[in-house]
Amino acid sequence: MDSGVTAFMILSTSLVMLMTPGLAFFYGGLAGKRNILGIMMQTFVSLGITTILWIAMGYSLCFSGGEGGIIGNLDLAFLKNVAFDDMYSGNGKFPTYIFVAYQMMFAIITPALITGAFVNRITFKSYLIFLVIWQLFVYYPFVHMIWGGGILAEWGILDFAGGIVVHTTAGFAALASVIYVGKRRDSQSPPNSIPLVAIGTGLLWFGWYGFNAGSELDTDANTTLAFLNTDVAASFAAITWLIVEWVQTGKPKFVGLLTGAVAGLATITPAAGFVPLWAAIIIGISSGLVCYFAVRLKNKWGWDDALDVWGVHGIGGALGTIMLGVFASEIVGPQSGLFEGNSNFFFKETISVIIAAAYAFGFTYLMLALINFITPVKVSEAHELLGLDESLHGEKAYDHGAL
């Protein structure tokens, strides 16, 4: 066992775990004041439900058997036959248990990303069913196909830290959810706490270093490359979004700056350890531009994606995967991209992200329709107007009578 790499993976796992509370703060600040706890509850509950599901079957379905296939098997259900001192087979430098925990943190935050799209419109009971089924039929198959030795891995598809597996699937599932549940009755609800959004962004940005640099699963030069690429892309995207929105609206918006940073983080994710630093700059600028105008397009088309999950994560993840196909370099990674003359890899990455987006969208829409036969998916008009904090959870974020 390499104690340095083991310590690094424990730290990276902890950083990715911190992203889920960070997401709760980010979404909680953007939500209306009557729905703060509802959206934060949906995020935090994934820490519990997903952990149970991951230990019971998720890890096994993703990383056991199924070579060249779509899904694994249940040979490692409840981590049977995995001893606490077994070494991770990928490089033998740290215990398998840390790999289990690290991948579990990805599984926790991915479905939680979707919740920002349908804030104050989904019943909690239907969300719990959604949380389980979506992972079983969308998240786990894509983890296995790309990171678990499945069919996309055999095709040569690369995804460093989750452009396809996390952001594209979650973003297009969010779009399907928005179209299925329809618009909010009060679609002009402003953010209740921009400082809370800033705290959430800070935690997400900080945690993303574990998300991306940790995905190297080692401590080497590519780890530092992924770390720096992550910060550079986020920074360039944040300033690009700020400038574009300033030109469009006449005012520099703090929420725009924060949203641009998250868009840059999502976009660099699939490419972080596979592209040189100069490409991360281009990816960051492109993210700020493309994701900003994707959100504008969403508003023009009347899609009530309340917290811009599709425009930031869906489009960001897809854009980053396609740009990986352009800028991948054999100098820093295992594959060259279109810029170095490899059009085959570019087309593979592009097709794979289209498949992921289409499947996540189609399955999510169908799944919500089926869940609606079991329990109502959309809250009643009375509950929506009252706010989900009080109507579903019997709590309020703020006691207005207190000093």
Q: Label each residue of 270-326 as H, E or C.
A: HHCCCCCHHHHHHHHHHHHHHHHHHHHHHHHHCCCCCCCHHHHHHHHHHHHHHHHHH
pLDDT of the residue at 190: 85
Q: Is the dihedral of CA 329, 236, 195, 390 positive or negative?
A: negative
Instruction: Give the single-character DSSP code of 189.
Output: P
Classify each residue of 287-299 as buried b or exposed e, where b means 16 or more C-beta atoms within 10 Å of its C-beta.
bbbbbbebbeebe
* Cβ–Cβ under 8 Å, residues 62 and 74: no
Tell me the one-letter amino acid at 27: Y
Location of structure tokens 């840390």: 98
Could you give phi then psi for residue 122, rounded to 5 degrees? Answer: -115, 135
Cβ-based neighbours of 323, under 8 Å, separated by 6 or more? 267, 271, 275, 279, 282, 283, 286
Helix (H, G, I), strand (E, B) or coil at 71: coil
* Cβ–Cβ under 8 Å, residues 107 and 113: no
Residue 246 burial (10 A CB sphere; 0-12, 13-18, 19+) = middle
pLDDT of the residue at 362: 98
Classify each residue of 249-265 as buried b or exposed e, where b means 16 or more C-beta atoms within 10 Å of its C-beta.
eeeebebbbbbbbbbbb
How would DSSP label each residue in 314-373? IHHHHHHHHHHHHH--TTTSS---GGGT-HHHHHHHHHHHHHHHHHHHHHHHHHHHHHHH
* Cβ–Cβ under 8 Å, residues 162 and 268: no
264 vs 216: CA distance, rounded Å: 19
Alpha-helical (H) ranges within 116-168 are 124-134, 140-147, 151-154
* Cβ–Cβ under 8 Å, residues 50 and 227: no
Domain ranges in the chain? 3-378
303 vs 179: CA distance, rounded Å: 7
pLDDT of the residue at 399: 75
* Cβ–Cβ under 8 Å, residues 321 and 349: yes
Could you give phi then psi for residue 87, rounded to 5 degrees? Answer: -90, 145
pLDDT of the residue at 403: 45
If residue 76 lies in a helix (H) or strand (E), which one and from where to where?
A: none
Which CATH number does 3-378 carry?
Answer: 1.10.3430.10
Helix (H, G, I), strand (E, B) or coil at 120: coil
Could you give phi then psi for residue 378, rounded to 5 degrees? Answer: -95, 140
pLDDT of the residue at 401: 59
Instruction: Give the single-character DSSP code of 157.
Output: -
* Cβ–Cβ under 8 Å, residues 147 and 62: yes
* Cβ–Cβ under 8 Å, residues 171 and 326: no
| Count of positions (residues) in the chain | 403
- List the structure tokens of 5: 């790499």
pLDDT averaged over 10-residue windows placed end to end, the chain, 403 residues? 96 98 96 93 97 98 96 97 94 96 98 94 96 98 97 97 98 97 82 95 98 97 98 98 97 97 98 98 98 95 92 98 98 95 97 98 98 95 92 87 51
